[in-house]
């Protein structure tokens, strides 16, 4: 379909009024297409740069107001966005053909970050979305420029030992009485969603933890060998010996400054102490688990996870699960594709999605969040049953933003009074026996 796209601007011109703005945008895009067709990579890049310079800021603002792709009847409103998005794709393609892999990656990532709702509409009724083409090209380019895929990991535990009591978990803080996010506040919330397991970003056992909900301890971070050793001996080892603790989670978002903020070399230094626990270990869960700068990684860049896993594998260290965090939009297939890529990339270890939920990191007020509650609920109704049915997914834990958090309030499981939202009621309804949950929840 992309081969005939130079004709699309002619079609758009016949559909929409020939305002000075639309015609000029169309002309620049057409020139970029023609240059690309002639293999004039520099020409295509130059025309695309012109479009980005003239209309980029306005197109970015337009994109930020959208929560998804606009319907065909509204296409005229977003001509600037559509043209700039197309030009960015053409620029990325030209840079890739020219051999500038880094430039192409940066261009595709810019398109995905700031202009992902650009689209081209044909009167015959089909849609072509530059961001989708960019995402595919970006994944291939990343793999081609940095070939990395661990060999299938050796299993150190049986399937039964690696299996959770059920896949659905929950992550909630269990702080001291009087503190925000206390156990007193969150234990009732935990019980309402009927999870099979839970964790609280720490390793201390929680008083009154329901007997039918497995608690999984975590080393949130580590800043000394002695400190880590003493903490594990005091708070974790006795419960492993008693059979209460059956697995352990590695460090929390070490690639993010506001979280564990550790180098991968530091994490590797401490890892043998975690191996010595002799229970299944989940890798550190990174904000950017794939090394691709898409809209699900909280703005975190880098290859922390890849570097850690590659070196751990070289040293023969044991990593039994791959930890994943995800905070993207409500595009179901994008989520599924990313989870599959991560699974295959890191040696086909079972993946543990220990934090995930749609989030709009650009929202500053509640009304600015583009992921409306109904979109999130629809996302859950497709994604959760799918996760339940994938044998390579060991478990998942929804991250419930608070009801007053602009970036994620539409993904909250609880309202201001602690009662379940529609998303919470649906999450509650998912069980091993009923992986589809209650699809009638509204």
Q: Is residue 435, in this structure, part of any structural domain at all?
A: no
Q: Is residue 69, in this structure, part of any structural domain at all?
A: yes
Q: Is residue 441, in this structure, part of any structural domain at all?
A: no
Q: Let me know the angle formed at the C-alpha of 408 by 383 and 339, rounded to the nearest 5 degrees.
A: 30
Residues 281 and 367 in one domain: yes
Final residue belonging to a domain, choices 96, 121, 145: 145
Q: Is residue 150, in this structure, part of any structural domain at all?
A: no
Read off the pLDDT of each residue in 47-56 and give the average, rounded to a whole number: 91
**Per-residue pLDDT tens digits for 201-214:** 999 999 999 999 99
Domain of 116 in residue numbering reads as 2-145
Read off the pLDDT of each residue in 246-262 and give the average, rounded to a whole number: 97
Name the strand (E) or helix (H) holding 342. Answer: helix 332-345
Extract the tokens encoding 21. 């703005």
Contact 27, 13 (CB under 8 A): no
Residues 208 and 134 in one domain: no
Final residue belonging to a domain, choices 112, 145, 178: 145
Mean pLDDT taken over the chain: 90
Residues 100 and 218 in one domain: no
Contact 29, 83 (CB under 8 A): yes
The CATH number assigned to the domain holding 321 equals: 3.20.20.80
- Given a cut of 80, is residue 250 above it in pLDDT? yes
List beta partners, residue 395: 352
Final residue belonging to a domain, choices 96, 114, 145: 145
- Given a cut of 60, is residue 278 above it in pLDDT? yes
In this prediction, residue 441 has a pLDDT band, given cuts at 50, 70 and 90, of very high
Residues 384 and 243 in one domain: yes
Residues 315 and 220 in one domain: yes
**Per-residue pLDDT tens digits for 126-165:** 678 898 888 888 887 876 666 677 889 899 999 999 999 9
Residues 345 and 257 in one domain: yes
Residues 124 and 9 in one domain: yes
Give me the DSSP letters along 138-160: HHHHHHHHS---PPPPPPSS-HH
In this prediction, residue 15 carries a pLDDT of 38
List beta partners, residue 355: 325
pTM (global) more than 0.85: no
The CATH number assigned to the domain holding 67 equals: 1.25.40
Phi, psi of 47 (to 5 degrees): -65, -40
Residues 135 and 214 in one domain: no
Contact 127, 119 (CB under 8 A): yes
Q: Strand, helix or coil at 171? A: strand
Domain count, the chain: 2
In this prediction, residue 18 carries a pLDDT of 35
Cα–Cα dist 351/353, whole Å? 6
Q: Is residue 46, in this structure, part of any structural domain at all?
A: yes
Q: Is residue 328, in this structure, part of any structural domain at all?
A: yes
Instruction: Give 52 or 128, the one with higher predicted confidence.
Output: 52
In this prediction, residue 102 carries a pLDDT of 85
Q: Is the dihedral of CA 134, 135, 141, 144 positive or negative?
A: negative
Cα–chain center distance at 378: 17
Residues 348 and 296 in one domain: yes
**Per-residue pLDDT tens digits for 171-197:** 999 999 999 999 999 999 999 999 999
Pairing assessment for the beta strands 127-128 and 120-121 based on DSSP bridges: antiparallel
Span of 10-14, 82-86, 133-137, 368-372 with lowest mean pLDDT: 10-14
Read off the pLDDT of each residue in 42-50 and give the average, rounded to a whole number: 92
Give me the DSSP letters along 395-429: EEEE----TT-TTTGGG-SB-TTS-B-HHHHHHHH
Span of 17-26, 36-45, 261-270, 365-374 with lowest mean pLDDT: 17-26
Residues 184 and 128 in one domain: no
Cα–Cα dist 359/400, whole Å? 10
Helix axes 422-429, 373-389, angle to 10 degrees: 10
Residues in the chain: 442
Q: Is residue 439, in this structure, part of any structural domain at all?
A: no
Cα–Cα dist 200/179, whole Å? 14
End-to-end CA distance of the chain: 38
Residues 221 and 302 in one domain: yes
Cα–Cα dist 55/337, whole Å? 32
Span of 9-18, 54-63, 126-135, 329-338 with lowest mean pLDDT: 9-18
Give me the DSSP letters along 63-121: HHT-SSPPPGGGGGGGHHHHHHHHHHHHHHHHHHHHT-HHHHHHHHHHHHHH-TT--EE
Residues 274 and 126 in one domain: no
Q: Is residue 437, in this structure, part of any structural domain at all?
A: no
Read off the pLDDT of each residue in 280-290 and give the average, rounded to a whole number: 97
């Amino acid at each position: 379909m992309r081969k005939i796209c130079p004709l699309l601007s002619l079609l758009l011109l016949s559909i929409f009024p020939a305002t000075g703005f639309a015609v000029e945008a169309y002309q620049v895009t057409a020139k970029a297409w023609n240059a690309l067709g002639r293999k004039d990579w520099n020409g295509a890049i130059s025309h695309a740069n012109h479009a980005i310079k003239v209309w980029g800021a306005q197109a970015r603002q337009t994109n930020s107001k959208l929560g998804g792709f606009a319907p065909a009847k509204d296409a005229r409103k977003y001509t600037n966005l559509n043209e700039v998005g197309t030009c960015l794709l053409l620029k990325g393609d030209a840079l890739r053909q020219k051999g500038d892999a880094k430039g192409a990656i940066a261009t595709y990532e810019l398109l995905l970050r700031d202009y992902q709702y650009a689209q081209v509409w044909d009167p015959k009724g089909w849609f072509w979305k530059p961001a989708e083409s960019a995402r595919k090209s970006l994944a291939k380019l990343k793999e081609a420029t940095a070939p990395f895929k661990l060999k299938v990991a050796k299993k150190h535990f049986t399937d039964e030992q690696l299996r959770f009591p059920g896949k659905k978990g929950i992550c909630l803080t269990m702080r001291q009485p009087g503190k925000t996010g206390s156990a007193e506040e969150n234990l009732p919330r935990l019980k309402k969603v009927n999870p099979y397991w839970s964790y609280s970003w720490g390793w201390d056992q929680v008083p009154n933890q329901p007997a039918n909900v497995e608690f999984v301890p975590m080393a949130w971070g580590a800043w000394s060998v002695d400190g880590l050793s003493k903490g594990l001996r005091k708070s974790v080892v006795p419960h492993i010996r008693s059979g209460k603790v059956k697995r352990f989670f590695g460090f929390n978002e070490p690639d993010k400054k506001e979280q564990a903020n550790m180098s991968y070399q530091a994490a590797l230094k401490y890892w043998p102490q975690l191996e010595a626990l002799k229970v299944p270990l989940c890798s550190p869960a990174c904000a950017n688990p794939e090394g691709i700068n898409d809209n699900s990684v909280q703005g975190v860049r880098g290859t922390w996870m890849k570097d850690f896993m590659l070196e751990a594998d070289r040293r023969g260290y044991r990593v039994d699960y791959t930890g994943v965090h995800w905070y993207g939009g409500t595009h179901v297939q994008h989520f599924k594709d990313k989870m599959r890529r991560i699974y295959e990339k890191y040696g086909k270890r079972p993946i543990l999605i220990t934090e995930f939920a749609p989030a709009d990191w650009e929202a500053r007020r509640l009304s600015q969040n583009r992921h409306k509650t109904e979109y999130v609920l629809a996302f859950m109704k497709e994604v959760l049953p799918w996760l339940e049915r994938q044998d390579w997914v060991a478990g998942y834990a929804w991250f419930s933003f608070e009801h007053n958090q602009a970036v994620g309030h539409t993904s909250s499981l609880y309202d201001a009074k602690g009662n379940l939202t529609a998303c919470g009621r649906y999450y509650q309804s998912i069980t091993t026996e009923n992986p589809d949950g209650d699809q009638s929840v509204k």
